[in-house]
């Protein structure tokens, strides 16, 4: 695969292997099977591992990312897995997804510019349908300096106390802990993560 790419993520994904593997994140694999089928939004979805997994469970899935290479590989993975997947090339920050309602929103290592992160998280809470579920797995600030994955800038990592304030209206279950990651070549080894499941009250 050659040629110029739209962004750094295209460069990162431009290889035969899937940079973060093809299996779902551990939290996604634990939570999604227990949820009723519905509309699932996977933000900053990259090569599609979590979106494809959600589709195999019978959900109607929309992935959103700006990576052309990620989209192509995600659709290839969906075809290989025998599922349908809608993948939108759109901006996670202020994209059209905010105008729709979702039963489940997945944020898997979606480390955004800290200037925009709180507003995106609040938009996620607002876009959840009554009774909907938010699934978030991210690197905590205790991950800083480790080589197992995550942004190299402290301010882009997540703080549990700050996250609690960024999803208004949701009941949150959150845990910061060390896990062993084996997600392609991108996330490998002991890592400090925040696992969060948020639920919006049903009407």
pLDDT (0 to 100) of residue 157 = 98
pLDDT (0 to 100) of residue 94 = 87
pLDDT (0 to 100) of residue 203 = 78
Low-confidence stretches of the chain (pLDDT beneath 70): 1-7
pLDDT (0 to 100) of residue 70 = 97
Give CA angle at 24 (23, 25), nearest 5°.
125
pLDDT (0 to 100) of residue 5 = 37
What is the DSSP secondary-structure string of 5-65? -SSHHHHHH-SSS-TT-SSPPHHHHHHGGGSPS-EEEEET-TT-HHHHHHHHTT-EEEEEE
pLDDT (0 to 100) of residue 4 = 38
Q: List pLDDT tens digits, range 141-166.
A: 999 999 999 999 999 999 999 999 99
- 199, containing H or E segment: strand 187-199
Which token pair is 3?
Answer: 């040629």
């Amino acid at each position: 695969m050659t040629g110029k790419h739209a962004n750094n993520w295209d460069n990162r994904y431009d290889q035969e292997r899937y940079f973060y593997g093809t299996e779902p994140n551990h939290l996604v694999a634990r939570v999604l099977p227990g949820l009723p089928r519905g509309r699932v939004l996977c933000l900053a979805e990259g090569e599609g591992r979590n979106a494809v997994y959600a589709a195999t469970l019978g959900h109607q899935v929309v992935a959103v990312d700006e990576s052309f290479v990620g989209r192509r590989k995600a659709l290839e993975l969906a075809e290989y897995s025998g599922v349908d997947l809608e993948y939108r090339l759109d901006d996670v920050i202020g994209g059209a997804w905010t105008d729709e309602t979702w039963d489940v929103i997945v944020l898997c290592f979606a480390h955004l510019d800290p200037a925009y992160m709180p507003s995106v998280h609040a938009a996620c809470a607002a876009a959840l349908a009554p009774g909907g579920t938010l699934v978030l797995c991210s690197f905590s600030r205790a991950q800083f300096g480790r080589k197992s994955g995550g942004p190299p800038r402290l301010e882009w990592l997540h703080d549990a106390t700050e996250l609690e304030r960024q999803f208004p209206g949701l009941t949150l279950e959150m845990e910061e802990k060390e896990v062993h990651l084996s997600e392609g070549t991108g996330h490998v080894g002991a890592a400090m993560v925040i696992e969060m499941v948020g639920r919006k009250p049903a009407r």
